[in-house]
Structure 1
Amino acid sequence: MAPVFRPGRLRRVVDPYVAALLGTVALATLLPATGRTATAVGWAADAAIGLLFFLYGARLSTREAVDGLRQWRLQTVVATSTFVLFPLLGLAAAGLVPYLLTEDLHTGLLFLCLVPSTIQSSIALTSTARGNVPAAICAGTYSSLLGMAVSPLLAAWLIGSAVSFSADGLLTITTQLLAPFLAGQLARRPLTGFLTRHKKPLGLLDRLSILLVVYTAFSRGVAEGIWQQVTPIRLLSLLCVATTLLALALTTTSLAARRLGFSREDRITIVFCGSNKSLATGLPMAAVLFGASAGPVILPLMLYHQVQLMVCAVIANRWSRDAATSPAPESARREETQRAC
């Protein structure tokens, strides 16, 4: 899934993909698509969303998901953080309206809390911090699979009328999200070689598709006066709220993992997988669920994504240094103990 995120990028302050997203927002602000161009761009964005979710389905390994059942306690903690803790925090943030957030920005923040966990960045962060990488792969896979059904349902329940969840909306969600995703899962085996050989160009296609979705959403938002509603002060307030949300998620998952007796490696996996949110899945999903109103809704997700990259990169590098100076990882000590017994 886009954006591709590797351990070597952890030292960067601003992720290049986020910079491209911000540039796309600026382009849509200065040169929004209108008239027939807007119609054509909208059709192209719809096709791009279908292609994105087809590729997501083709890349997700069912075998990895089945193997992950062996660590059901860890997967349960991550899923609970993603689909229970975050929605509760999002609902609690309603008290910030109208002081720090507008109604639209709170809707976006609540939607951010319903998005599944990311895969690439969680794996990269877990690997850098010397955590349980196979468990991180499984956690990301499970979260993506659950998110396909759970995120739209939670959005319809918690956000309500802002979500296009009528009969026509349900049909749109099925045809643009679920059907392509399931088709990708069914086509996974024959496409595995092709996806492996063309990993880089397909990754670029992913990113370009998401940029098209963002351009379409903000073009509609500009037409509706989004920047009259979202002032610089509101953006700064939103950044503070997103940072606080991440801090609460990191603290809660860390404390829960310790109290439940997980090893150091598993705690690292829980913290990163349980606190990260997927930009690649969330942006096209927002475009489908919110339609012309998606512009202000995706702002919290974009800001949170950048904050999570910066903060989690610092944490991952620190934990990596701590692991390098420790005598041995906990898993290695356990294996030595078992052999001795």
Structure 2
Amino acid sequence: MLSRIFPDRFVPVLLATILLASLLPVRGAAVPIAQGLSTAAIVFLFFLNGVRLPRDEVLHGIRNWKLQGGALTFCFGAMALLGLAAQAATASLLPATLALGFLFLGILPSTVQSATAASSLAGGNVAASVVAAALLNLSGVIVSPLLFAALAGSAGEISGAGALRIVAILLLPFIAGQFAQRWLRPWVLAHRGLATFMDRSAIAIAVYVAFSAAVVAGIWDLLDGREIGIVMGAVALLLALSFGGAWLFGALLRLKRPDRITLLFSGAQKSIAVGAPLAATLFPPAVAGMVLVPILVYHMAQLILSAWIAPVLNRSARV
């Protein structure tokens, strides 16, 4: 029964992380240590992503320019505008940093593993899905913070120190991972389970530290049941618009059905694996925790939704 409610095992991990941060947040002298551990986890996460994302497949898959261009356009264009609209719609109803989280959600790249897995389960173009995930995440390291700075106004200003921090913590480890592919990628592919565990542990640490700071700053005092309901409703509407819009956009581009399925999951899903580290890099810890709330809810909901609709798409293709 639990596997039906939570088709991806990472969903209960995220829920447990939020609960742990709410009950036992990091405080006092432990904060600098936890932040240092979080930074180290983020560096390792992006190094591992650099090792894992295949350069050769990316270069080969770029030939399918209609699909890959469509995925980039929808993920960073349409979704960014949807996030901006959600921020504007909730600005008068929610704390400013929480409403800003909807824009932050919109500028993030797609997931890697779950988008590819959902495409495979739905009968999509799996090879193109791997390429799309790689291109979106390669682009997202640079595009996401720039897009956020462009759309968020004064709230999205990135200082010189902030830009250097992004380069040092996100971009350089990723580049180092790309250079280390020759030696490390065979080991990562041979130990997928361990690599996934390390990957998700790094995300959980980043989320725990950021959300702990938000709890200490009084996030649960700032949010009441009405505001939590608004976040849930806004995320549900975003899911409907993003998944429905990606499916219609694929039809508009006249993609073949397998490519259309790949565009659906690559375009509409959003990555907490990039979101948590980027928030920790862009914002003070207390602010980062609040900004992460929409993407945390969206990420968990998209995994459940994708696991439900992928088999339906697969069955409907056989009819």
TM tier relative to shorter chain: over 0.9
Indicate conservation of the 8 Å contact 1:10/1:313, yes or no: no
Quick one: structure 1 residues 150 and 98, their matched pair in 2 at CA, closer, same or farther if it must change by over 3 Å? Answer: closer
1:299 aligned residue (267, 270, 293): 293
Aligned partners of 1:87 and 1:114 also within 8 Å:
yes
2:239 aligns with: 246
For structure 2, list consecutive stretches of 5 or more residues without a partner in the other structure.
Answer: none
**Counterparts of 1:211 and 1:249, CA distance in 2:** 25
Report deviation, 1:192: 1.7
Indicate the residue corresponding to 2:308 in structure 1.
Answer: 314
CA shift, 1:107, in A, is: 0.8
Kindly indicate whether the alpha-carbon contact (under 8 Å) linking 1:104 and 1:296 is maintained by their aligned counterparts in 2.
Answer: yes
- Cα distance in structure 2, aligned partners of 1:10 and 1:72: 37
Q: How far did residue 232 of structure 1 move?
A: 2.5
Of structures 1 and 2, the larger Rg is shown by 1
Which residue number in structure 2 is paired with residue 281 of structure 1? 274
The equivalent of 1:232 in structure 2 is 225
Q: Sort the Cα spacing of 1:201 and 1:44 in 2 relative to 1 into closer, same or farther, 3 A.
A: same
Residues 65 and 142, structure 1, Cα contact 8 Å, conserved in 2: yes
Mapped pair 1:204 → 2:172:
no
Q: Confirm or deny that 1:47 pairs with 2:35.
A: no
- Letter aligned with residue 158 of structure 1: L
Aligned CA RMSD, in angstroms, stands at 1.7
For 2:156 and 2:29, locate their aligned partners in 1 and report how far apart those are by CA, in whole Å: 26
Count how many residue pairs are aligned between Structure 1 and Structure 2: 317
- Change beyond 3 A, Cα 1:240–1:56: same
Query: 1:176-195 alignment to 2 at 5 Å?
Result: 176-195=169-188
The answer on 1:91 being equivalent to 2:75 is no
2:88 aligned with 1:105 = no
The letter for the 2-side match of 1:316 is: A
Amino acid in the other structure paired with 2:104: F
TM norm structure 1: 0.88
- Once residues 311 and 4 of structure 2 are traced to their aligned partners in structure 1, the CA distance between those partners, rounded to angstroms, is 9
Q: Structure 1 CA distance, aligned partners of 2:156 and 2:252?
A: 37
Q: Distance in 1 between matches of 2:150 and 2:91?
A: 22
Distance 1:75 1:100 in 2: 37
Aligned to 2:108: 115
CA–CA separation in structure 2 for the residues paired with 1:267 and 1:74: 8
Structure 1: how far apart are the matches of 2:157 and 2:198? 27
Give percent identity, aligned residues only. 41
Provide the residue aligned with 1:74 in structure 2: 67
Q: Distance in 2 between matches of 1:149 and 1:274?
A: 18
**Closer, same or farther: CA 229–53 of 1 in aligned 2, 3 Å:** same
Normalised by the size of structure 2, how large is the TM-score? 0.94
